[in-house]
């Protein structure tokens, strides 16, 4: 009697397919160190990846927050000359290099200050002449615009050399030619746009505090990171804007 | 009971993926005897089979994340064992390539009733005595249920080579069974 191929296959598969044989204990002992090594290698790999990611983040942050030596790059057009076109006007041209802070007074100026303490405007406001104008305020440039009196060359100009990079220009439209204004002095006038608001107002929340510190370092209008400063409604603490150069996120509410 | 068992395997797999070493050992203990049974069919002896088992389980634990719950976990482990066994032979035995000889030979006639007396040990010994290439193909076809196409892909041989190796393997096995039967009759008589 012949055995068919099928029968032969069946004979083997029925007997051997579910065969169980207990392995010797040494097999597990050999497997164990291999899977442990793999697990450890995986773990150390993860640690290295995390370190690498942290380095990248820090390097990016350092690059973004590096000390700005060229102010022009961040503030756009800065070398604009403010020109008063009036016949007795005054053209002030701060140099692009703020360290020098050269300010040229083109016309009808007189170096000496002969300021009267006060002058009454037509509309009743008072212009306070700065007696302390010669005490150099190291943080602000003070420019006094003096209108001509009877003689045209009576206009006067007071300039203190800027020590820092901040330069403020006062070009008060109220200052008309025919107004008998003698002196207009400005000190700490809140004109400059770039000055962060956070510096001016009180710090209400933790977010504010961060914003102030960040504003000190990051001079751009969109800070590298900005926090919510909703001090009145709820004291929720969160990020309201991120600026990583190409990646900019700003929350408007 | 079956569900409970399945749940335990899934739990063990999840724990393994978390890096729980106890779970690794638990899974090993659960499947090692069955898988050694698989490897034994592909190996020449027990030592080789245990080597295959070791390699196979290291692979199982490393690839655990790839198991997506499709099909039974045991089936997945078994497939890895089979592939590891074939790979093992590729590395350790270069004589996998077998010349196709179209000689059907004389089919030995075996009495199926007599053959049924053969035990697991006898049949295992018969398979292990086959040349490695024949053994692989016969295992894959007769016991794992692979098609010739699948065998060709798994072993990197042609479908025709798979067919001819299977028929030669069968021929040898029948011959061997006949011999064993003969011996048995001699002993009895």
For Cα atoms A21, A23, A24, give the angle at the middle one, nearest 5 degrees: 140
Measured CA to CA, the distance from residue A145 to residue A189 in angstroms comes to: 14
Closest CA to B37 of A12, A30, A33: A12
| CA A139 and chain centroid, separation | 19
Pick the CATH number of B2-92 from 3.40.50.2300, 1.10.1740.10, 3.40.30.10, 2.40.50.100: 1.10.1740.10
List chain B domain ranges: 2-92, 112-188
Contact between chains at B110 and A15 (C-beta distance less than 8 A) = no
As for the ipTM of the complex, it is 0.80
| CA A218 and chain centroid, separation | 3
Tell me the two tokens of residue B165.
């190796």
Same fold yes or no, B2-92 and B112-188: no
How large is the angle between the packed helices B46-62 and B21-42, nearest 10 degrees? Answer: 140
Using a CB-CB distance cutoff of 8 angstroms, which residues of chain B are in contact with residue A17? Answer: 143
* pLDDT by position in tens, chain A (length 253): 567 888 889 889 888 888 899 999 999 999 988 887 666 666 778 888 899 999 999 999 999 888 776 555 555 555 554 545 555 545 454 444 444 444 444 444 444 444 445 555 566 555 555 554 444 445 555 555 655 555 444 444 444 444 444 444 555 555 445 544 444 444 454 555 544 444 455 677 777 888 888 888 877 777 777 777 665 555 456 777 777 777 777 766 5
How large is the angle between the packed helices B73-92 and B46-62, nearest 10 degrees? Answer: 120
CATH 1.10.8.60 fits B112-188, yes or no: no
Contact between chains at B33 and A16 (C-beta distance less than 8 A) = no
Selecting from B19, B41, B54 the residue whose C-beta is nearest the C-beta of A39 gives B19
Measured CA to CA, the distance from residue A167 to residue A161 in angstroms comes to: 10
Q: Among A8, A24, A33, A39, which would you mutate to test the B interface (most chain B Cβ atoms within 10 Å of its Cβ)? A: A8
Q: In a 10 Å sphere around its CB, with 0-12 CB exposed, 13-18 middle and 19+ buried, how is residue A141 labelled?
A: buried
Confirm if B89 and B132 have CB atoms less than 8 A apart. yes
What pTM, to 2 d.p., does this model score? 0.49
């Amino acid at each position: 009697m012949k055995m068919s191929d099928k029968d032969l296959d069946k004979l083997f598969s029925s007997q051997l397919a579910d065969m169980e044989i207990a392995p010797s204990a040494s097999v597990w002992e050999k497997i164990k160190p291999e899977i442990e090594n793999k697990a450890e290698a995986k773990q150390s790999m993860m640690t290295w990846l995390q370190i690498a990611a942290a380095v990248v983040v820090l390097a990016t942050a350092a690059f973004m927050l590096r000390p700005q030596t060229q102010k022009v790059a961040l503030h756009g057009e800065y070398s604009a000359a403010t020109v008063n076109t009036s016949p007795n006007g005054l053209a002030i041209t701060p140099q692009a290099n703020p360290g020098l802070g050269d300010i040229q007074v083109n016309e009808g100026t007189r170096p000496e200050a002969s300021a009267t303490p006060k002058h009454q405007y037509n509309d009743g406001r008072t212009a306070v002449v700065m007696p302390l104008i010669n005490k150099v305020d190291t943080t602000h440039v003070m420019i006094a615009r003096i209108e001509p009196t009877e003689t045209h060359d009576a206009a006067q100009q007071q300039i203190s050399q800027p020590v820092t990079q901040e330069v403020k220009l006062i070009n008060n439209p109220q200052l008309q030619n025919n107004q008998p204004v003698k002196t207009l002095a400005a000190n700490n006038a809140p004109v400059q746009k770039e000055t962060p608001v956070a510096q001016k107002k009180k710090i209400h929340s933790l977010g504010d505090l961060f914003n102030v510190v960040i504003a000190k370092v990051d001079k751009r209008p969109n800070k590298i990171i900005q926090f919510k400063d909703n001090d009145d409604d709820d004291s929720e603490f969160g990020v309201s804007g991120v600026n990583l150069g190409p990646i900019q996120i700003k929350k408007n509410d | 009971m079956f569900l409970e068992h399945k749940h335990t395997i899934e739990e063990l797999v999840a724990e393994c993926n978390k890096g729980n070493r106890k779970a690794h050992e638990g899974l090993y203990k659960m499947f090692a005897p069955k898988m050694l049974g698989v490897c034994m069919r592909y190996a020449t002896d027990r030592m080789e089979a245990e080597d295959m088992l070791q390699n196979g389980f290291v692979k199982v634990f490393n690839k655990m994340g790839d198991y997506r719950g499709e099909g039974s976990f045991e089936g997945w482990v078994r497939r890895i064992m089979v592939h590891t066994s074939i790979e093992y032979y590729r590395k350790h035995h270069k004589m996998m390539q077998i010349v196709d000889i179209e000689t059907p030979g004389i089919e030995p006639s075996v009495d199926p009733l007599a053959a049924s007396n053969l035990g697991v040990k006898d049949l295992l010994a018969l398979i292990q005595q086959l040349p490695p290439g024949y053994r692989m193909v016969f295992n894959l076809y007769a016991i794992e249920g692979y098609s010739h196409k699948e065998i060709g892909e798994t072993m990197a041989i042609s479908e025709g080579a798979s067919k001819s190796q299977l028929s030669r393997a069968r021929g040898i096995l029948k011959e061997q069974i006949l011999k064993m039967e003969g011996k048995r009759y001699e002993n009895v008589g």
